[in-house]
Amino acid sequence: MAQAVRHDAMRARNLALVLGEVNARGSLTRAALAEITGLTKTTVSKLVADLIEAGLVVETGAVRDGERGRPGVVVRVSGEHVASVGLEINVDYLAVRVVDLSRTVRLRRTQAVDNRFAQPGDVVALLRDLALKAVDDAVDMGLRVVGGVLAVPGPVDQRTGTVHNAPNLGWRDVPVAALLELPFPVQVENEANLAALGELWFGSGLSDFLHVSGEIGIGAGLVVRGRLFQGSHGFAGELGHVVVSPDGPACRCGGKGCLEQYASQDALAAATGLPPGAGPHGNGAQRTGAQAGGASGNGTQATPGGTTAGDISWIVSRLEAGDAAALAACERAGWALGVALSSAINLVDPDTIVLGGIYGPLFPWIGEAVAATLTSRLGQMRDAVPPVVVSRLGTEAAALGAAGQVIQRVIADPAALLQT
């Protein structure tokens, strides 16, 4: 019995070793895998056969010259069988993404809603419908969804899947994982952390950056040498509540003068002249649609399946029309973002700042103020102020990071999947 347990543990470790190398290197022959892992060719062949049977790995058909002239068949991670679902509950939209094991995005669904005045149960039920439809469509593509991660805008107790506190949703201690009741395991994680991982896995290829998620709330995720920094309890990255001005406007968090009071979507809409909640989606109109592919949310127009729209496209249209209030709101938001980021840079020393979410479409109007504020506050201390760039993922980053998190876990422990 103990012998069997030990054998299982060793097999699990070796499956992870082989799949990890295939994933990291793109494609490999069995002979190359044996050489890299130090396992015998017989062991590698058995492990690869198990991974092929489980649909995690596939032979490409390509043949590569091996040692001593014997050609070998190349294997790679299979995108044809196993998939994950990335889910997101945000203040003004719900999102679902299906990603296959080769990290190709297979399905995108976004629904604009206003979750601020909705009951958590109703929001979760709507998301559940969206997710189940996406899973059905994935099945039609021949994919098996093995797990999901849900992104929420606030700190989460990851063990219980409970949203601790999401002030912009008005949620407190909501057991969202339990409410969701999907036919596969779902982890719940902070939206800003997942958006940073989305940028890491699906973005511009950087491995050292602070990713800022501009939404109704503002969060951040710090990636250092390819790893997410989460702090002592997983609550790091609450950039939206960094102090810009200690006696500034009261914030939902209980503080005053937090960054969200200057640079969130609501703050920008209010300063532009739109009362919060009165945007194009404030009347409860809901839009949904599937997109064939391509990142969305970083354009300035609401698309048929757009992921942001609502207030932000309205703000952008005012900016494009040269509206003075909108321009002043962006100038102020850029300055505030620069102040908060200068505190963040002093504290956590990121290599690059990646602006995501609403800061993508707003960048032409806030970028200069952010950069000028950073230079004036940091330029004398440092040879170089960290560059500020725009994420190409827009508001899609969190849901993609969520889906990618599941893929990461399958790659790290394929044996768990083989047993089911």
The 10 Å CB-count burial string (b at 16+, else e) for 383-409 is: eebbebbbbbbbbbbbbbbbbbbbbbb
Question: Could you tell me if 350 and 210 are in contact, meaning their C-beta atoms sit under 8 angstroms apart?
Answer: yes
Distance of CA 326 to the CA centre of its chain: 29
The span from the CA of 52 to the CA of 354, in Å, is 38
Q: If you count them, how many residues does the chain have?
A: 420
Give 217 or 306: the residue with its C-beta nearer to a copy of itself.
217
Give 301 or 346: the residue with its C-beta nearer to a copy of itself.
346
Give 290 or 348: the residue with its C-beta nearer to a copy of itself.
348
Min. distance of Cβ 248 from a copy of itself in angstroms?
Answer: 9
Residues 6+ apart with CB under 8 A from 98: 83, 84, 85, 86, 105, 106, 107, 134, 135, 137, 138, 143, 145, 403
Residues 6+ apart with CB under 8 A from 410: 56, 82, 84, 101, 146, 147, 416, 417
The span from the CA of 102 to the CA of 80, in Å, is 9
Tokens 């952010």, located at residue: 370
Give 92 or 238: the residue with its C-beta nearer to a copy of itself.
238
State both tokens at 168: 């912009």
Min. distance of Cβ 311 from a copy of itself in angstroms?
Answer: 24
DSSP state, residue 246:
T
Give 140 or 247: the residue with its C-beta nearer to a copy of itself.
247
Helix 41-53 / helix 30-37 crossing angle, nearest 10 deg:
120
Min. distance of Cβ 68 from a copy of itself in angstroms?
Answer: 23
Min. distance of Cβ 83 from a copy of itself in angstroms?
Answer: 32
Give 16 or 218: the residue with its C-beta nearer to a copy of itself.
218
Can you give the binding site for a copy of itself, defined by CB under 8 A? 155, 164-165, 167, 208, 220, 224-225, 229-239, 241-247, 253-256, 339-340, 342-344, 346-351, 376-383
Give 246 or 322: the residue with its C-beta nearer to a copy of itself.
246
Min. distance of Cβ 372 from a copy of itself in angstroms?
Answer: 13
